[in-house]
Amino acid sequence: MQRARAEGWRSRAVFKLEELDQRDRLLRPGQRIVDLGAAPGGWTQYCVKRCGSKSTVIGIDLLPIDPLPGSVLIQSDFESDEGLSALETALNGQRVDLVLSDMAPNISGIASADQARATGLVELALDFCDRQLVSGGDFVAKAFQGEGFDAWLAQVRERFKKVSVRKPAASRARSREVYVVARNFRLG
Protein backbone atom coordinates (compact mmCIF):
# COMPACT_ATOMS: atom_id res chain seq x y z
CA MET A 1 0.00 0.00 0.00
CA GLN A 2 2.94 2.35 0.62
CA ARG A 3 3.94 2.31 -3.05
CA ALA A 4 0.33 2.93 -4.10
CA ARG A 5 0.04 5.93 -1.76
CA ALA A 6 3.41 7.29 -2.87
CA GLU A 7 2.26 7.15 -6.50
CA GLY A 8 -1.15 8.67 -5.72
CA TRP A 9 -3.29 5.53 -6.17
CA ARG A 10 -6.26 4.64 -3.98
CA SER A 11 -5.28 0.97 -3.57
CA ARG A 12 -2.51 -1.46 -4.36
CA ALA A 13 -4.97 -3.45 -6.52
CA VAL A 14 -4.23 -0.91 -9.24
CA PHE A 15 -0.91 -2.66 -9.86
CA LYS A 16 -2.78 -5.86 -10.77
CA LEU A 17 -4.87 -4.04 -13.37
CA GLU A 18 -1.83 -2.16 -14.64
CA GLU A 19 0.03 -5.45 -15.18
CA LEU A 20 -2.97 -7.02 -16.96
CA ASP A 21 -3.39 -3.91 -19.11
CA GLN A 22 0.28 -3.83 -20.09
CA ARG A 23 0.23 -7.51 -20.99
CA ASP A 24 -3.15 -7.65 -22.73
CA ARG A 25 -3.64 -4.02 -23.89
CA LEU A 26 -7.12 -3.78 -22.41
CA LEU A 27 -7.62 -0.03 -22.13
CA ARG A 28 -7.98 2.45 -24.99
CA PRO A 29 -9.20 6.06 -25.19
CA GLY A 30 -12.92 6.45 -25.80
CA GLN A 31 -14.04 3.18 -24.19
CA ARG A 32 -17.15 2.71 -22.06
CA ILE A 33 -15.95 0.84 -18.97
CA VAL A 34 -17.86 -0.52 -15.98
CA ASP A 35 -15.91 -1.38 -12.81
CA LEU A 36 -17.90 -3.78 -10.62
CA GLY A 37 -16.86 -3.79 -6.96
CA ALA A 38 -15.02 -0.51 -7.46
CA ALA A 39 -14.32 0.64 -3.86
CA PRO A 40 -12.01 2.24 -2.93
CA GLY A 41 -11.70 3.30 -6.57
CA GLY A 42 -8.18 2.30 -7.63
CA TRP A 43 -9.23 0.50 -10.81
CA THR A 44 -11.65 3.28 -11.73
CA GLN A 45 -8.91 5.84 -11.10
CA TYR A 46 -6.49 3.90 -13.34
CA CYS A 47 -9.09 3.68 -16.14
CA VAL A 48 -9.82 7.42 -16.02
CA LYS A 49 -6.10 8.25 -16.10
CA ARG A 50 -5.32 5.74 -18.83
CA CYS A 51 -8.32 6.33 -21.14
CA GLY A 52 -8.86 10.08 -20.86
CA SER A 53 -11.84 12.38 -20.93
CA LYS A 54 -13.52 10.89 -24.00
CA SER A 55 -14.12 7.66 -22.13
CA THR A 56 -17.04 6.77 -19.88
CA VAL A 57 -15.90 5.09 -16.67
CA ILE A 58 -18.56 3.92 -14.23
CA GLY A 59 -17.76 2.33 -10.87
CA ILE A 60 -20.27 0.63 -8.59
CA ASP A 61 -19.86 -0.74 -5.08
CA LEU A 62 -21.80 -1.27 -1.86
CA LEU A 63 -19.22 0.84 -0.07
CA PRO A 64 -18.88 4.59 -0.59
CA ILE A 65 -16.19 5.76 -2.99
CA ASP A 66 -14.63 9.21 -2.69
CA PRO A 67 -15.45 11.38 -5.72
CA LEU A 68 -13.19 10.84 -8.70
CA PRO A 69 -13.30 13.42 -11.51
CA GLY A 70 -13.92 11.85 -14.91
CA SER A 71 -16.00 8.96 -13.59
CA VAL A 72 -19.54 8.15 -12.52
CA LEU A 73 -19.62 6.45 -9.12
CA ILE A 74 -22.64 4.55 -7.84
CA GLN A 75 -23.01 3.40 -4.25
CA SER A 76 -25.39 0.48 -4.55
CA ASP A 77 -25.52 -3.29 -4.41
CA PHE A 78 -24.61 -4.60 -7.86
CA GLU A 79 -26.67 -7.71 -7.06
CA SER A 80 -29.86 -5.67 -6.56
CA ASP A 81 -32.38 -4.46 -9.13
CA GLU A 82 -31.72 -0.93 -7.84
CA GLY A 83 -27.97 -1.22 -8.51
CA LEU A 84 -28.47 -2.67 -11.99
CA SER A 85 -31.01 0.04 -12.78
CA ALA A 86 -28.57 2.76 -11.65
CA LEU A 87 -25.89 1.26 -13.90
CA GLU A 88 -28.25 1.11 -16.88
CA THR A 89 -29.28 4.73 -16.28
CA ALA A 90 -25.61 5.81 -16.18
CA LEU A 91 -24.97 3.93 -19.45
CA ASN A 92 -27.84 5.83 -21.10
CA GLY A 93 -28.76 2.93 -23.38
CA GLN A 94 -25.21 2.34 -24.57
CA ARG A 95 -23.39 -0.95 -24.35
CA VAL A 96 -20.04 -1.40 -22.59
CA ASP A 97 -16.65 -2.04 -24.21
CA LEU A 98 -14.95 -3.42 -21.09
CA VAL A 99 -16.36 -4.94 -17.89
CA LEU A 100 -13.98 -5.12 -14.93
CA SER A 101 -14.78 -7.05 -11.77
CA ASP A 102 -12.52 -7.00 -8.76
CA MET A 103 -15.42 -8.09 -6.54
CA ALA A 104 -14.80 -10.41 -3.61
CA PRO A 105 -17.17 -11.52 -0.87
CA ASN A 106 -16.70 -10.63 2.76
CA ILE A 107 -14.78 -13.61 4.08
CA SER A 108 -16.55 -15.67 6.74
CA GLY A 109 -13.72 -18.14 7.33
CA ILE A 110 -15.88 -21.05 6.14
CA ALA A 111 -14.06 -22.04 2.97
CA SER A 112 -16.98 -23.69 1.15
CA ALA A 113 -19.34 -20.78 1.87
CA ASP A 114 -16.73 -18.20 0.88
CA GLN A 115 -16.00 -20.04 -2.39
CA ALA A 116 -19.73 -20.28 -3.19
CA ARG A 117 -20.17 -16.53 -2.64
CA ALA A 118 -17.10 -15.71 -4.75
CA THR A 119 -18.41 -17.92 -7.56
CA GLY A 120 -21.82 -16.24 -7.28
CA LEU A 121 -20.22 -12.83 -7.80
CA VAL A 122 -18.33 -13.82 -10.96
CA GLU A 123 -21.50 -15.46 -12.29
CA LEU A 124 -23.34 -12.15 -11.79
CA ALA A 125 -20.53 -10.28 -13.55
CA LEU A 126 -20.72 -12.67 -16.51
CA ASP A 127 -24.49 -12.22 -16.61
CA PHE A 128 -23.92 -8.45 -16.74
CA CYS A 129 -21.64 -9.02 -19.77
CA ASP A 130 -24.44 -10.96 -21.47
CA ARG A 131 -26.76 -7.97 -21.06
CA GLN A 132 -24.42 -5.00 -21.52
CA LEU A 133 -21.18 -5.90 -23.33
CA VAL A 134 -20.72 -4.95 -26.99
CA SER A 135 -19.90 -7.62 -29.55
CA GLY A 136 -16.10 -7.82 -29.49
CA GLY A 137 -15.93 -6.39 -25.95
CA ASP A 138 -13.67 -7.58 -23.16
CA PHE A 139 -14.10 -8.81 -19.58
CA VAL A 140 -11.62 -9.02 -16.70
CA ALA A 141 -12.69 -10.68 -13.46
CA LYS A 142 -11.05 -11.68 -10.23
CA ALA A 143 -11.97 -15.27 -9.45
CA PHE A 144 -10.91 -17.79 -6.85
CA GLN A 145 -9.81 -21.27 -7.87
CA GLY A 146 -11.85 -23.94 -6.16
CA GLU A 147 -15.27 -25.54 -6.43
CA GLY A 148 -17.31 -23.98 -9.23
CA PHE A 149 -14.36 -22.23 -10.89
CA ASP A 150 -13.89 -24.68 -13.77
CA ALA A 151 -17.62 -24.72 -14.62
CA TRP A 152 -17.73 -20.90 -14.59
CA LEU A 153 -14.57 -20.70 -16.72
CA ALA A 154 -16.20 -23.03 -19.27
CA GLN A 155 -19.13 -20.57 -19.48
CA VAL A 156 -16.69 -17.72 -20.09
CA ARG A 157 -14.98 -19.71 -22.87
CA GLU A 158 -18.36 -20.22 -24.58
CA ARG A 159 -18.91 -16.45 -24.75
CA PHE A 160 -15.45 -15.11 -25.64
CA LYS A 161 -13.03 -15.99 -28.42
CA LYS A 162 -9.89 -15.82 -26.26
CA VAL A 163 -9.71 -16.51 -22.52
CA SER A 164 -6.58 -16.42 -20.35
CA VAL A 165 -6.11 -17.07 -16.64
CA ARG A 166 -3.51 -14.75 -15.14
CA LYS A 167 -1.79 -14.45 -11.75
CA PRO A 168 -0.41 -10.90 -11.55
CA ALA A 169 2.84 -10.41 -9.64
CA ALA A 170 0.97 -8.08 -7.24
CA SER A 171 -1.26 -10.99 -6.13
CA ARG A 172 -0.14 -12.84 -3.03
CA ALA A 173 1.55 -16.08 -4.06
CA ARG A 174 -0.43 -18.30 -1.66
CA SER A 175 -3.80 -16.79 -2.62
CA ARG A 176 -6.22 -18.77 -4.81
CA GLU A 177 -6.99 -15.45 -6.51
CA VAL A 178 -6.56 -15.35 -10.29
CA TYR A 179 -7.72 -12.95 -12.97
CA VAL A 180 -9.60 -14.16 -16.00
CA VAL A 181 -9.02 -12.02 -19.07
CA ALA A 182 -11.68 -12.70 -21.71
CA ARG A 183 -11.39 -11.03 -25.11
CA ASN A 184 -13.74 -10.57 -28.05
CA PHE A 185 -17.26 -11.21 -26.71
CA ARG A 186 -19.64 -13.11 -28.99
CA LEU A 187 -23.21 -11.80 -28.65
CA GLY A 188 -25.98 -14.38 -28.33
Catalytic residues: 142
Please, what sign has the CA dihedral across residues 159, 146, 168, 129? positive
In single-letter form, the type of residue at position 159 comes to R
Count the Cβ atoms, other than its own, within 10 Å of residue 112. Answer: 10
Q: Name the 3-class secondary structure at 18.
A: helix
Residue 63: name the closest of 41, 89, 33, 43 by CA.
Answer: 41
Count the Cβ atoms, other than its own, within 10 Å of residue 172. Answer: 8
